[in-house]
Structure 1
Amino acid sequence: MEHDVEPELPRGIALAWGVAANPQRGPKREMSVERIVEAAVEIADAEGLGAVSMAAVASRLGFTPMSLYRYVTAKDDLILLMQEEATALPPEQSTEPGDWRARLEELYRGQMIVYLRHPWILDIPITGSPITPNSASWMDAGLGALDGTALSHEERLSVMTTMTGQSRWAGSVIAGYTRAQREAGIGGEDQTRQEDALFRSLITADAYPSLRAAVDAGVFLDDNDPFAFGMARFLDGVEHYIAAIATRGHDAPRAWVELDDAEIAGDKKYREARKAVREAEKALRDARKIERQAARDAAERLKRASGGA
């Protein structure tokens, strides 16, 4: 495979790496890409990503929107630079020599802190790997933690991306809870009690037996971090896999999961068939509910009949 072609860097990535040409003239000496990005991050931290616009940033800096375009030519580039600024560098403990698992755990906690400090990052659509200096440093730290293990380079990347996905999912849930609490003006304990009450009123043992058992066990009132438990078990699995490579070798690679072909998905008869499947699945769930109720009624009748004999 050829790797010697020099790609043309998009403007935002060139700015992030500091290789973009500076504007020949600007409104004032005080204006810079760094100041623009810092102002945009301040707006997003206070009001969310939706509040960020060239006009809002210009107003905060005391310039006109057109003056910003000499430095950052598109809002997408600004958002990329905001993400780079807010992401910062990974924690030092994750890059120091030591146990690979402890280093990955530091990375996981560090990513969670980034999302909690700057929850608007979670609102940025994922369109690929952000090829910027700070993002590259996080990837390098994760892969570096696994140096010296028996994992292949592809397996190390898989571990890193899975851990990153777990931290993003956990961050989105926790940030969402925090936002909801702030908007409702309630504390965390009040929200969990409200949710527990809703589950208890809506989830029945008849329709959702396992979920109801969990509700009765008080899982929605528990203070422990369920994401930390899941992350620990994931790393247990990686540790077990590394130990087993010597005897069983590496697992075979697997292909990406793909959606149905676009042309097939757009076919009218295919859509009708998919709709029929969903309706059948719903009918099956309803039938099973009726079956469980009939079984309980039958058991009750037999109990009464036995008692009357």
Structure 2
Amino acid sequence: MTEDLEPELPRGIALAWGVAANPQRGPKREMSVERIVEAAVEIADADGLGAVSMAAVAARMGFTPMSLYRYVSAKEDLILLMQEEATGIPSDAVREAGGWREQLEALYREQVQNHLAHPWVLDIPISGVPVTPNMAAWMDAGIGALAETQLTHEERLAVMLFVSGAARWAGSILAGYARLAREQGLDGPAITRTEDAMFRALITGDAYPHLRAAIDAGAFLDDSDPFAFALERGLDGIGDYIAAAAEGRHDPGIPWAVPDDADIADDKRFREARKAVRDAEKVLRAARKAERQEARAARDRRAKLNPTG
């Protein structure tokens, strides 16, 4: 019989969990893994991940680089610990937000804010899921939000990955725009107008008909949150799937096997009801577009009346 062996933890993982052997000796009491990580995060927050090196951290702390290696033996381990520190843990507000959807929305918002507070984390190459305490806490919160649903454990994990992926993508784009704003001294609306003008100059209807139609419709000047919209529509679908599971309308052992309405597609009243829903959704989209256009016009009128802000 083959016995299960405990895996040998990489040094960085062991440090994150607090189970690594302590250094036999250190230069001064002020030196510790925690203090090293704090100094490295301060450097990254100020100047980006590329500015972090063992020499830079040591200089910031007033020690020699060799003294750091007694505590953190490799830069890769230091970056892992920096990521763990910057990631933090979900607040109590996530678990107390309400139902599964409200909890996932709160988790998404907190992850986006973390990415904006520490955008350098997004520059760390992904090489699997870091098995660290804080990352485990985020995963547990996402999976736990779905604990009272009929979803399987595999499906709960998939939903958690969807929400975290949406937060990472949104954080990456928003952090990039924030950096651009700082470097060029522009605010968000100014950047948006510049990009729209560039699209209008370069994109033709002959070569890119659908993109040009979106440009002409003012899609790139819209001030709504496209990331939040996509998340909400994704959660809508997940909600439908959860409802189907609760009603026994699909086999939970076959992931993502929600049946369609093919068995009643030829029913006249059903087709009429479905068409009415599509028509109503079309009217709603048009009304929302008109609302956004009027909001932009109102802001423009206010800006003209009060040009100094």
Q: Does TM, normalized by the shorter one, top 0.5?
A: yes
Q: Is the 8 A contact 1:149 1:242 kept in 2?
A: yes
Structure 1 unaligned spans of 5+: 255-309
Q: Deviations over 1:269-295 (max 9, x none)?
A: xxxxxxxxxxxxxxxxxxxxxxxxxxx
- 1:5 CA drift (Å): 2.1
User: How much does 1:23 deviate?
Assistant: 0.8
User: Equivalents in 1 of 2:177, 2:86: separation in Å?
Assistant: 21
Structure 1: how far apart are the matches of 2:93 and 2:232? 18
Offset from partner CA, 1:82-110 (integer Å, 9 cap, x none): 00000001121222373011000010001
> Compared with structure 1, are the counterparts of its residues 170 and 3 closer, same or farther at alpha carbon in structure 2 (3 Å cutoff)?
farther
Other-structure match for 1:181: 181
Aligned residue pairs, count: 254
Q: CA RMSD in A?
A: 1.6
Asked if 1:198 corresponds to 2:178, the answer is no
Deviation at 1:111, TM superposition (A): 0.4
- Indicate the SS of the match to 1:247: coil
Q: Letter of the 1:84 partner, please give it.
A: E
CA contact (8 A) 2:95 2:145 kept: yes
Question: Residues 1-309 of structure 1 correspond to what in structure 2 (within 5 A)?
Answer: 4-96=4-96, 98-245=98-245, 246-250=248-252, 252-253=254-255
* Structure 2 CA distance for partners of 1:192 and 1:3, relative to 1, 3 Å: farther
Using the TM superposition, name which of 184-193 and 133-142 deviates more: 184-193
* Other structure's SS at 2:249 match: helix
Q: Secondary structure at the match of 2:205?
A: coil
Write out per-residue CA displacement over residues 113-169 of structure 1, whole angstroms, 9 at most, x where no aligned residue: 100000000000110111101110000001110001000000000000111111111
SS of structure 1 residue aligned to 2:139: helix
Amino acid at match of 1:190: A
Contact 1:11-1:20 within 8 A present in 2 as well: yes
Q: Which amino acid aligns with 1:215?
A: I
Per-residue CA deviations over 1:23-45 (Å, capped at 9, x if unaligned) read 11111011000000000000000
Per the alignment, in what secondary structure is the counterpart of residue 161 of structure 2? helix
Q: TM-score, normalised by structure 1?
A: 0.79
Question: Could you tell me which amino acid in structure 2 is paired with residue 154 of structure 1?
Answer: E
> Deviation digits for residues 4-56 of structure 1, max 9, x if unmatched?
32111110011000111111111101100000000000000000000000000
AA of the residue aligned to 2:161: T
CA distance in 1, matches of 2:104, 2:61: 39
Provide, for residues 158-182 of structure 1, a one-character-per-residue CA deviation record: whole Å limited to 9, x for no partner: 0001111111111111111111221
Change (3 A) 1:183 1:13: same
1:9 partner SS: coil
1:91, 1:106 within 8 Å by CA — same for their partners in 2? no
Deviation at 1:253, TM superposition (A): 4.9
Q: Report if the CA contact (8 A) 1:49-1:123 is conserved.
A: yes
